[in-house]
């Protein structure tokens, strides 16, 4: 998605916990483009670092018009094994950090009367997956957050939307068994898992003036997975 936004002309700042991965991603995103691409090493599981990221982003980029938030952790376990520590960390990364970033960056968007907030949720917000309770709860709550942001910020020219990906070949599915991954891919209407690049078009639409009348929406991108019986 970051590469797609850069190809559309956006300057980019990306954040994650791992410096080496960020450096490599910056090179890939900016290759052959004029867009400026920066990075910030940040652990969204720590509340103080979320505020620091927002401050650094404004300092480095000058202004933030588009917030695209796709950080998540994906614990898989039965309810009896869901500890307070795992729940608190999942809630922080998957939901609280998103709210903190929106709260920190929305005032600048309000001042300019233009902004885009895009949260990457999941089809798990709509359908249940075995041993995915904590993940699904946080992703569903994030959709409620997006609706609230859309309502509050709409009068200021700011849209807020959620993208609900289905099975995509990111690092996250690595925790799932090969048998489960194969079964999920076969269940989609396209008979396969999605490539991360297949989310870029929707991200660009929502971030641009072409998507200026789309807000408060939950847009499913899942190869038809949850639309079939």
* CA 36/CA 51 separation, integer angstroms: 22
Residue 139 annotated to the active site: yes
Q: Which of 139, 197, 208, 212 is catalytic?
A: 139
Q: What is the DSSP letter of 95?
A: I
Separation in Å, CA 159 to CA 4, 17, 58, 72, 115: 19, 28, 19, 22, 6
Residue 223 token pair: 């190869």
Q: Which of 98, 121, 124, 135 is catalytic?
A: 135
Going 45 to 10 to 112 to 207, the CA torsion angle's sign is: negative
Residue 213 annotated to the active site: no
* CA 93/CA 99 separation, integer angstroms: 10
* CA 118/CA 2 separation, integer angstroms: 12
Q: Which of 98, 121, 122, 124 is catalytic?
A: 122
| Residues labelled as active-site residues | 122, 135, 139
């Amino acid at each position: 998605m970051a590469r797609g936004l850069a190809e559309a002309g956006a300057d980019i700042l990306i954040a994650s916990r791992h410096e080496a991965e960020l450096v490599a991603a910056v090179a890939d995103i900016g290759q052959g483009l004029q867009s400026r691409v920066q990075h910030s090493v940040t652990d969204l599981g720590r509340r103080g670092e979320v505020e620091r990221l927002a401050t650094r982003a404004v300092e480095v980029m000058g202004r933030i018009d588009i917030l695209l938030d796709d950080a998540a952790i994906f614990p898989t376990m039965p309810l009896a094994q869901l500890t307070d520590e795992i729940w608190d960390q999942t809630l922080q990364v998957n939901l609280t950090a998103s709210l903190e970033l929106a709260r920190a960056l929305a005032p600048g968007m309000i001042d300019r009367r233009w902004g885009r907030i895009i949260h990457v949720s999941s089809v798990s917000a709509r359908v249940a997956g075995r041993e995915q309770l904590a993940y699904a709860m946080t992703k569903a709550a994030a959709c409620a957050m997006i609706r609230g942001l859309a309502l509050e910020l709409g009068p200021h020219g700011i849209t807020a939307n959620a993208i609900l990906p289905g099975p995509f070949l990111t690092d996250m599915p690595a925790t799932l068994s090969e048998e489960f991954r194969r079964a999920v891919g076969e269940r989609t209407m396209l008979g396969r898992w999605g490539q991360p690049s297949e989310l870029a078009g929707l991200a660009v639409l929502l971030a641009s003036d072409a998507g200026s009348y789309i807000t408060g929406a939950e847009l499913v991108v899942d190869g038809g997975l949850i639309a079939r019986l």
